[in-house]
Structure 1
Amino acid sequence: MGKKMSIKEIAKLSGVSVSTVSRVINDNGRFSEDTRQRVLKTIKKYNYQTNTLAKGLRMRRSNTIGIIVPDLSNTFFSSLVEKMENQFFSKNYSTIICDTGRNSDKEEAYIRMLEAKLTDGLIVISGKKTFDTNILSRPMPVVCIDRKPKGKKTLFVSSNHYQGAVIATTELLKAGTQPTLFKVSRNSSSILDRIRGFKDTMKKMGAELHNSSIISLSSDYRAGSDDRRLEIRNKLRKLINADKLPLGIFATSDTLAADIMIAARDLHLSIPGDLKIIGFDDAPISRYCYPQLTTIRQDISQIASQASQHLINAINNTDDDAEDSEDTIIDVQLVERSTV
């Protein structure tokens, strides 16, 4: 049809009030299934389209979600963002994805930009510092993933990183090794939970915990770089001199585990004969390693589903239910392959 229909005309043709049409379009409020179907049939027949820009200005809503992510080259983060984007799209929200490169100034600049675009809500993934909603210039629902928030009203979704560390450390101890945790120097809340799980398990199982039990690598080197692998080789040499084989290593990511495996082969260490290793994430690289990497799997689909649903609920609720909401902690599991 050439003529553009108004919401009043859709209401008249459907035999309902304008407010009922509005409730059906926004899927908000009370109406019968018969009414919903009648309105939707009329909308489809006459190809009625809402003026989303005018509606957004009227309601101060943009149907846009901002996603702050520290590093899209990390397959865990990129997979998580992809799944959340699909979730939001299915609920008629568009997303603006901001890769901060782990730079706090860049993160703050992105937040200011998202606020200026009247973003309806914010997903904040990982990061070294806790996320403080006081930096926002206007109230906005926020869901933090793997990043502890400040303030009761901010929803928190996370894997059970502590549980994952307990599982990995226990497996390495059962395999007859003296486990060592390898990490990169920056400490997010998820890494701190893994360190805590590692330490508690070592103590509980009566294993010796000393200064070299946790090895922190420089954050200046990229994963996969020659500098990173040289640094790892130097750390492994010290471990070989101090401990009897086989070495047991809990790597706090699969990409780090892959670098450790390559560095170990450069030192003519066999895996899992001379070195037993467990990663974290179950990233694609864990299946492409040789031998394939034993790791801790995070349920990315569940994290994405819970975080996106929590945020949509928070956007649509005008009350303060979020203040009493509990953190969502999602179980992890061991994926046994060939490195232990």
Structure 2
Amino acid sequence: MTKVSIKQIAELSGVSVATVSRVINNNGRFSEATRKKVLQAIEETGYQTNYVAKSLRMQKSNTIGILVPDITNYFFARTVQHIEETLFEHGYSTIICNTDRSLEKEKAYLEMLKAKMIDGLIVISGIKEFDLVDYSSMNIPVVCIDRKPTGKASSVFIASNHYEGAYLATKHLLEKGVKSPVILMQNRESSSSSERLKGFKAGLKEAGMPFRTDTNLLVVDSRKNVLRVEEKTRQLFLKAFSKLETCDGIFSINDDLAILALDCLKELGIAVPDQVKLIGFDDTLLSRHTSPKLSSVAQDTLKLAETTCENLLSLIQNPSLAVSKQQLVPVHLVERETT
């Protein structure tokens, strides 16, 4: 099929090229009769807008890049889903990049997104703080979720109140009679895990209990999604839990770890919640189907997504108003059968 140009559409419609452009972009003044003539010509010829040329001309692609460390993770997947739906409603398409917690992969994706001329970037979590210098040449607004940005460029940092969530979980365990609580963590750093550890310590301090790494902290070596390396992680858990003779309550940094911990406790013959009480973080779908059902701290993924999109779209539409700010989204505790 011969490629049809906007000039040919204008000739067939009996209007100017500028008028055709206004109709296509639904921007500017034109009559209903003109709109119908242009749309009829477009339909008859099968004309399609050259979006690459349009992006170069207007310096706008109506595309948003999203960096996510693990798309199989329930929290990340739900947040990205809400973001995509919201942006689509505002006329934006999304390019979702699963970095697998790899800095090399992340840098490669940033280069690709730069070539795609994206209008904005959303960065969700990650293994370290997001250095704004790495993307500064893209000259676009950035919103970070659960990953603190560094550098001099303006940005928005949005996160669940992880400190509050961990504090609530710890306080809940203590109110249930736990005397020797343990926080269960993975050995990878993130702003969210750091805040959850602080919240756990705050809960202990309020109860007059000192935090000791030998009795209140259990770290497992699992740098990727624990569900992908379940058997290796399970063996680590079994070995570690067998040494926790005084532990009668566990706050897990996430539900995936909590669910594996629940299985290991059963294998060791430790009854939950009678001997050890257990609470997770994220309130995933699986937490409602374990036996016993897992207590957890719920994050509001919809609110996180809405807040993210609201800030990003505002920055795109008003780039001169760009500033650095931080917003926290409340969490709440969901009590089930493990506590």
| TM-score, normalization by structure 1 | 0.85
Q: CA deviation at 1:5?
A: 7.3
What is the alpha-carbon distance in structure 2 between the residues aligned to residue 53 and residue 37 of structure 1? Answer: 28
Q: Identify the residue that residue 217 of structure 2 maps to in structure 1.
A: 214
Cα gap change, 1:257/1:156 in structure 2, threshold over 3 Å: closer, same or farther?
A: same
Structure 1 residue runs of 5 or longer lacking an equivalent are: none
Q: Identify the residue that residue 334 of structure 2 maps to in structure 1.
A: 335
Cα gap change, 1:205/1:96 in structure 2, threshold over 3 Å: closer, same or farther?
A: same
Q: CA deviation at 1:46?
A: 6.8
Counterpart contact for 1:66–1:121, Cα < 8 Å: yes
Equivalent AA in structure 1 for residue 194 of structure 2: L
Q: Identify the residue that residue 281 of structure 2 maps to in structure 1.
A: 280
Q: Identify the residue that residue 149 of structure 1 maps to in structure 2.
A: 149
Cα gap change, 1:39/1:21 in structure 2, threshold over 3 Å: closer, same or farther?
A: farther
Counterpart contact for 2:10–2:20, Cα < 8 Å: no
Cα gap change, 1:166/1:22 in structure 2, threshold over 3 Å: closer, same or farther?
A: farther
Equivalent AA in structure 2 for residue 161 of structure 1: H
Cα gap change, 1:133/1:180 in structure 2, threshold over 3 Å: closer, same or farther?
A: same
Counterpart contact for 2:237–2:264, Cα < 8 Å: yes
2:89 is aligned with 1:90: yes
What is the alpha-carbon distance in structure 1 between the residues aligned to residue 309 and residue 30 of structure 2? Answer: 25
Q: CA deviation at 1:163?
A: 0.6
Q: CA deviation at 1:257?
A: 0.4
Render the CA deviation track for 1:72-117: whole Å, top value 9, x for unaligned. 1211111111121111222221111111111111111111111111
2:199 is aligned with 1:197: yes
What is the alpha-carbon distance in structure 1 between the residues aligned to residue 159 and residue 334 of structure 2? Answer: 19
Cα gap change, 1:201/1:8 in structure 2, threshold over 3 Å: closer, same or farther?
A: farther
Cα gap change, 1:149/1:23 in structure 2, threshold over 3 Å: closer, same or farther?
A: farther
Cα gap change, 1:62/1:20 in structure 2, threshold over 3 Å: closer, same or farther?
A: closer
What is the alpha-carbon distance in structure 2 between the residues aligned to residue 183 and residue 153 of structure 1? Answer: 32
| TM-score, normalization by structure 2 | 0.86
Q: Identify the residue that residue 71 of structure 2 maps to in structure 1.
A: 72
What is the alpha-carbon distance in structure 2 between the residues aligned to residue 36 and residue 196 of structure 1? Answer: 60
What is the alpha-carbon distance in structure 2 between the residues aligned to residue 152 and residue 220 of structure 1? Answer: 30
Cα gap change, 1:5/1:199 in structure 2, threshold over 3 Å: closer, same or farther?
A: same
Equivalent AA in structure 2 for residue 204 of structure 1: E
Matches within 5 A, 1:1-340: 21=22, 25=26, 42=36, 51-136=50-135, 137-150=137-150, 151=152, 153-177=154-178, 178-211=180-213, 212-220=215-223, 223-224=226-227, 225-240=230-245, 242-243=246-247, 247-319=248-320, 321-323=321-323, 326-340=325-339
Structure 2 residue runs of 5 or longer lacking an equivalent are: none
Secondary structure at the counterpart of residue 54 of structure 1:
helix
Cα gap change, 1:285/1:175 in structure 2, threshold over 3 Å: closer, same or farther?
A: same
Equivalent AA in structure 1 for residue 322 of structure 2: A
Equivalent AA in structure 1 for residue 82 of structure 2: K
Render the CA deviation track for 1:216-238: whole Å, top value 9, x for unaligned. 11025752411111111122111
Identical-pair percentage:
38
What is the alpha-carbon distance in structure 2 between the residues aligned to residue 232 and residue 273 of structure 1? Answer: 19
Count of aligned pairs between the two proteins: 324
Equivalent AA in structure 2 for residue 329 of structure 1: L
